[in-house]
Structure 1
């Protein structure tokens, strides 16, 4: 290995004293490859074992905590005890080569797909009509009742229990990407006039507390709990960096082991407001103030980009998303001095080059995700 890349392979110790073998994280990637009922598929096992083998921390695809929260075709479930057997297989595959294995627990909220949910239903903090994931037309999401909100909070805790029983090392609470938890924080999605709207941080903090209490009951002190969030929304009125500052300062008071910011570009700057033009990651790192590691993702396609992110001193852990899908040997190639052989562009004419599950290959080939491509499309 070129010694300049050594910082990427430094060990990282979490607040609960768990040690990660390097700074790389497998991002929670939507692979659309679980069975139709949400149980774990053989294709999924092979895929996740490949992508977990070299990272320090591996996070599963977003896994729905209630049937009403299903937001993707081929999405895994943690909503039922009957899911546990498959989850055990997934845990074993993710941990096989030394990574710590995490399940991301999720609810789609307004973005749940009615064609996949019971009775074609979708529910959100407030009524809204929108188009989500692969939909051709908009769907309507109704307002959740207070009883449903309480049941959903409990469901996040029950999902954490199942994750523990399945033998994983931790959970990540999905509070990002316009899904239910973020929707409660957002003034665009949450226009309620009750306690859930008057304090929009009420729902995410209750979910965190429910998960933490579950972990205290069923797991030991080595079980990892993380939280993912998106720092800004394009919508008006939407989440701004000032909102996220408040969120982060609440989260660092909780017994969490890391925060994970969802970005398309690690170097992204704040859109508007008090912090306009300032680097988002730098601000977040300042607000966290060393209380826990920050996981950052965003357009890392080369070894040099990975090194630059870590050497900024604002990134403790670096999540790989689209790049680890393009080349699951990314980390190994850096470690063995072959960083120039990394595959950083999608080649639609060489399916074997990327070794993707069929459904995910089709999405890449059809341009569903923005990617560097060999054909320039």
Structure 2
């Protein structure tokens, strides 16, 4: 045991409970509950092994009502049948000598409809959360508010029956209790809203009923705590003085502790960004003598003993430990013995650390996992400064590196600092530090700023790496040897790199753009596959032969039959490959040209692209795969009839040779190269494109230089539903969910579920050369992409069809007639006008109603280089070019004259995996 420390001092709470030390395990989401919120045995063991030396364990939040879960796999306390499972957790913790406290909550407007059976979440007011894609909740009536308070009381009673030593009322994280107190989310005009005093009534009522239950059913020292978020950045929002007002009221009624909910122990204000004073210091200075009697818990960034002692020195009475308790079940013993710990988890030790499988896959943990079998990249230790530019924002970033890790990222002080960027910076900084990589998910709603910061960190790593080589006496411009070089970081390139690495190859990824993801990140609908496990679970009867026939027909029988058969046969295996890598596409919809639901997408029905890239990048981060951003391939090196590597040029115009026996080209198509598009299809001049600006056909050109042949170059697909002012693709999942297309005259004009080329041609034939996609609330609730479109501002909505028609300058009688006729076809499952056979899911009769003006845009180039079924690139004589491989949209022949929606994602994963395998085998043989 180390030296004497205040950490081990016991603490007596106001109601008499004695905590044996100042350490608390923070309540952290594990996503490990059953579908109905009951407790699993692995969750019980997870808490058992972490109890003991730590004084108190606060168990993750339990939702008190079936409309309350804010995340998948949440555990519940909404009925008496949950008591036995929760009792096992309480007993497991207490048997090891720790106090067991249960956090209770309701997610309110932060609940996703998909988590509650498609129902609309509830909140104080019908105001959506200020986040991208948020659902507008249903306002609780005055009677329902009273019922909700009762449900909190019932939850406290159940916690007592389960044997917990106390409860923590979760009034933070923008959940329901905080929503009632916030002027942003509570705009009621009854006794539950309006003034600060009225908005405080709900949290006070929840505390009151908690006391009543404790007085009736619990022992005298039953613990009652309250967790709070000290500020909101929204305007209007909760300010620090508002929080103190509420806490004073709560303390007057009686609390055993209050619990700061912040990302860092000493975080200053996120509202008053000019004041660097830690909020805990302000809290200590401003609280009343009455509130000072209530112990306060701090949380955020605690890893080592010094972190705890710093927190106690600043006035916290207790210190909550989060991620460190996941990584080290015996964390308290380790720090009390003065061990210095790093926040990471060995990728081989999930079972040894008793981490449940769902938690292992959760982003909180996933970002901490390191592959300990590889040595990783080496840097020169020090501070490296880089500039960040994001639109009008110009900042400087200091990146502090150790020899193998990013240890800190900080903003160089600037009086013109954008407040919004400050919040983005803190969130993204945490993600990068935990992952030890700049390749992490962007912050929702701040993509441009996120990518700029990630770019700055990437530059710092590259600079440091070069300096490390120089210090070691090497030449940073000297040739480097790899087994496999992958050109392009979209889905095909990432899948290929992962597979090649897993087969023992040393791999590098070259990406000319400043960010990872390519065009894949813009994919929306899903991934087609037939005869999958997920189809079987949903009772969907499908066949590979039918999938083959429908794709061949959709491609106008121009598809390469060998490639298409390989594509169809391997699709289910590719779905399983993704699932085995933590990327599960288990919800299923349909796209145009298909007769069966076979388009696999994420469970939350979000766009597939971002989900796919996020999951693949996490796999890249856990492997020793080098990623070179803003680096172009000038040439594929070719000697003695075989590929020998690539010549690359970075953003500083420095040239370098990467030697490799295998080069995989996965650079995508050429939809963003207007000259190239017009060369093959002059009539497409002037069309917008849905593609990112890197889709220029560079990979086709570099392969042609070493003799590659091409096929179907004139086969360029236009997508029928593109929002023209932003070039944003409106996912086929909206039509596949049951939407219809109407002309400006308010009339349907074609079968919406026909292939893209045919639907596009019909829209172009309309007088206005555009159309409206019309859908209702039922479709919105089942397609998360719809909320994204609403958030982007190009959806027009109205309570009734008549109001919608007025807003889009359409004859209301015509639209109403079209709706009624369409709904009749849905009811009888027979489209008498246009023969639509699929996606007649339900009548469009649930307001609000939504409309988006769309027209075709250049979307996909079916032509590209020729390959065989092994993904080897072929020359004009159909002979293999040794060492050259290709996958994804850079390849021609698979899709024929028209690509079916959902087949592109299948294409990139199927042939990306295959290219990675064959390239590695060739390089290592």
Q: Same fold (TM over 0.5)?
A: yes
What residue in structure 1 maps to residue 102 of structure 2?
103
Q: Structure 1 residue 300 and structure 2 residue 361: aligned? A: no
Select the structure of larger CA radius of gyration: 2
What residue in structure 1 maps to residue 214 of structure 2?
215
Displacement of 1:284: 2.3
Q: Structure 1 residue 376 and structure 2 residue 434: aligned? A: no
Q: Distance in 2 between matches of 1:89 and 1:357?
A: 16
Q: Deviations over 1:289-319 (max 9, x none)?
A: 431110110111222111111122x110000
Point out where structure 2 has 5 or more consecutive residues left out of the alignment.
369-426, 439-925
Point out where structure 1 has 5 or more consecutive residues left out of the alignment.
none
Q: Structure 1 residue 31 and structure 2 residue 30: aligned? A: yes
Q: Deviations over 1:90-114 (max 9, x none)?
A: 1101212111111111000001221
Q: Distance in 1 between matches of 2:160 and 2:169?
A: 14
Displacement of 1:130: 3.9
Gap change, CA 1:358 and 1:274, over 3 Å in 2? closer
| Higher relative contact order (CA closer than 8 Å, sequence separation 6+) | 1
Q: Of 153, 159, 164, which aligns to 2:155?
A: 159
Q: Structure 1 residue 145 and structure 2 residue 146: aligned? A: no
Q: Of 186, 192, 196, which aligns to 1:190?
A: 186
Displacement of 1:220: 1.8
Deviates most, 206-215 or 275-284: 275-284
**Does the residue aligned with 1:116 lie in a helix, a strand or coil?**
helix
**Does the residue aligned with 1:253 lie in a helix, a strand or coil?**
helix
What residue in structure 2 maps to residue 12 of structure 1?
11
**Does the residue aligned with 2:75 lie in a helix, a strand or coil?**
coil
RMSD across aligned positions (CA): 2.2
Displacement of 1:347: 4.7
Q: Deviations over 1:30-73 (max 9, x none)?
A: 11001111111111101111222222111111001110111111
Q: Distance in 1 between matches of 2:182 and 2:274?
A: 18
Displacement of 1:282: 1.8
Gap change, CA 1:353 and 1:276, over 3 Å in 2? farther
Gap change, CA 1:363 and 1:131, over 3 Å in 2? farther
What residue in structure 2 maps to residue 279 of structure 1?
278
Q: Distance in 2 between matches of 1:309 and 1:247?
A: 23
Q: Distance in 2 between matches of 1:288 and 1:278?
A: 19
Q: Deviations over 1:156-205 (max 9, x none)?
A: 00100001111111111000000000001111111111111121101101
Displacement of 1:348: 4.7
Q: Distance in 2 between matches of 1:130 and 1:274?
A: 23
Q: Distance in 2 between matches of 1:355 and 1:167?
A: 23
Displacement of 1:249: 1.2
Gap change, CA 1:373 and 1:350, over 3 Å in 2? farther
Structure richer in strand, relative to its length? 2
Q: Deviations over 1:327-347 (max 9, x none)?
A: 222211122x2412x342345
What residue in structure 1 maps to residue 21 of structure 2?
22
**Does the residue aligned with 1:197 lie in a helix, a strand or coil?**
coil
Gap change, CA 1:76 and 1:363, over 3 Å in 2? same
What residue in structure 2 maps to residue 345 of structure 1?
344
Q: Distance in 1 between matches of 2:37 and 2:214?
A: 23
Instruction: Map residues 1-377 of structure 1 onto 2, 5 A cutoff.
Output: 1-4=1-4, 6-117=5-116, 120-130=119-129, 137-198=133-194, 199-272=198-271, 276-286=275-285, 287=287, 289=289, 290-312=292-314, 314-335=315-336, 337-340=337-340, 342-348=341-347, 351=350, 354-364=353-363, 366-367=366-367, 370=430, 372-373=433-434, 375-377=436-438
Give the TM-score normalised by structure 1.
Answer: 0.92
Displacement of 1:123: 0.7
Q: How many residues align?
A: 370
Deviates most, 346-355 or 28-37: 346-355
Q: Deviations over 1:210-258 (max 9, x none)?
A: 1111111111211111111000111111111011111111121022111
Runs of 4+ in 1 over 6 A off after TM superposition: none
